[in-house]
Amino acid sequence: MSTVNPAFEEAIKVTPLGGNKYSAHLSPEWCIGTVPHGGYTTAVIYKLVLTHFAHAHPTRYKTPASPISMQLSFLRRTSSGPAILEVEDVKLGARTSTIHIKLLQPSEKKPGTHEVMVAGYVTVSPPEAEVALPPPPPGSRADGSVDLVKLGRDGVDGAWAKLDPPFLEFRKAAAQLELYGPGTGETQQKRSGSMGIDQWSRFRPGGDQNGRWTDAAVAYLVDMFPMALDGFDQVSATAVAEEKGTSVSEQRAKFWYPTVTLNVDMKKHLPAEGVEWLYSRIVTKVVRDGRTDLEVTILDEAGEVVALSTQVGLVVSASRNIGSRKAEKL
């Protein structure tokens, strides 16, 4: 096991079963309500890809191949507990390879059978096949950067400050990182006049203060934007309050934003020992008819693009998540 983020590595552990089948155990500590967080599940699939190529194709590339593009569809609600992962080698090439993956769990409607919960395609490539990257957007200092040492030490640097993700009792997966931004979601959106959110973050799996962002942890980060959800809550709560004739405050924290599709393009490998800080820009393209469309860009401290992501989510009542199942007990 990697010495970086041991608790996270254990949470995303994938074990070969033979015949291109693998097992995993989705942890309840990485859930939103009772449903494993979409980014966390993506990290498990990222780990599946690494495990598959190391186990099934150890000599295909001179250096270990890893995902550069992931297109995933979340077909049904996953749950904490055991999962079976299946891999089909669709194309094994000299520069890139593509596999088809399925994540299966026991069916709630048909006891004794398994259903596909997540499916998709993943393209991998060795590091030597990577290309140049675009420059980053500006930061908060006069020269366009953020003093991350000061930010981490004091919790504030200019307009940037440490933030407390809202509604952590329900969104437990958001407790696995330390978040900094130039204001809450609503504050940022009012200042910019757009649906854009900026954040710097440090990884804190299980409260580990020595946590570091790794390639697998990036898969979690592309789906972790509490301040954007804070903005969604305001929009959703306002709409419901107007419909029911209640106050907006009564409707806050009553929504769940499950992932439907998630596409990730990995643009840069992080060092094996991981990095302390990563920057995210989250841009909401559409919130309409119960659906959200977002774009996420992840940058490192040098301003180089680490990953790009697009995703589609739904806006539904939180009761759809917690009303019909009990959280798994440790």
Query: Average model confidence (pLDDT) for the chain?
Result: 84
Domain ranges across the chain = 6-128, 148-322
Q: How far apart are CA 6 and CA 4, in angstroms?
A: 6
Query: Is 252:318 a contact under the CB 8 Å cutoff?
Result: no
Provide CB contacts within 8 A for 197, sequence distance 6+. Answer: 181, 185, 188, 189, 225, 227, 228, 231, 280, 281, 282, 283, 284
> Are domains 6-128 and 148-322 of this chain identical in fold?
yes
**pLDDT 10s digits, 270-297:** 999 999 999 999 888 766 667 778 899 9
Please state the CATH superfamily assignment of the domain spanning residues 148-322 in this structure. Acyl-CoA thioesterase, double hotdog domain (2.40.160.210)
Q: Which of 125, 133, 40, 47 lies closest to 91 in space, CA to CA? A: 125
Average pLDDT in the 219-247 region?
69
| pLDDT of 190 above 60 | yes
CA 133 to chain centroid: 21
Query: Is 330:206 a contact under the CB 8 Å cutoff?
Result: no
Q: How far apart are CA 149 and CA 208, in angstroms?
A: 18
Instruction: Pick 196 or 24 by higher pLDDT.
Output: 24
pLDDT at position 326 is 46
Average pLDDT in the 166-188 region?
81
pLDDT at position 264 is 94
Instruction: Pick 290 or 251 by higher pLDDT.
Output: 290
Place 230 in a pLDDT band, splitting at 50, 70 and 90: low
Q: Which of 299, 301, 282 lies closest to 134 in space, CA to CA? A: 299
Query: Is 201:222 a contact under the CB 8 Å cutoff?
Result: no
pLDDT at position 248 is 47
Percent of the chain with pLDDT over 90: 57
Please state the CATH superfamily assignment of the domain spanning residues 6-128 in this structure. Acyl-CoA thioesterase, double hotdog domain (2.40.160.210)
Average pLDDT in the 215-235 region?
81
| pLDDT of 231 above 90 | no
pLDDT at position 227 is 77
pLDDT at position 1 is 57
| pLDDT of 183 above 90 | no
In degrees, rounded to 5, the angle at the alpha carbon of residue 11 between the alpha carbons of residues 8 and 12 is 90
| pLDDT of 316 above 50 | yes
| pLDDT of 322 above 60 | no
**pLDDT 10s digits, 100-138:** 999 999 998 899 999 999 999 999 998 765 544 444 445
Looking at residue 59, the DSSP 8-state letter turns out to be T
pLDDT at position 257 is 77
pLDDT at position 199 is 92
Tell me the β-bridge partners of 125: 66
Percent of the chain with pLDDT over 70: 78
pLDDT at position 135 is 43
Instruction: Pick 256 or 194 by higher pLDDT.
Output: 256
Instruction: Pick 42 or 327 by higher pLDDT.
Output: 42
Place 185 in a pLDDT band, splitting at 50, 70 and 90: low
Place 65 in a pLDDT band, splitting at 50, 70 and 90: confident
Determine the length of the chain: 330
| pLDDT of 189 above 70 | no
Average pLDDT in the 211-230 region?
90
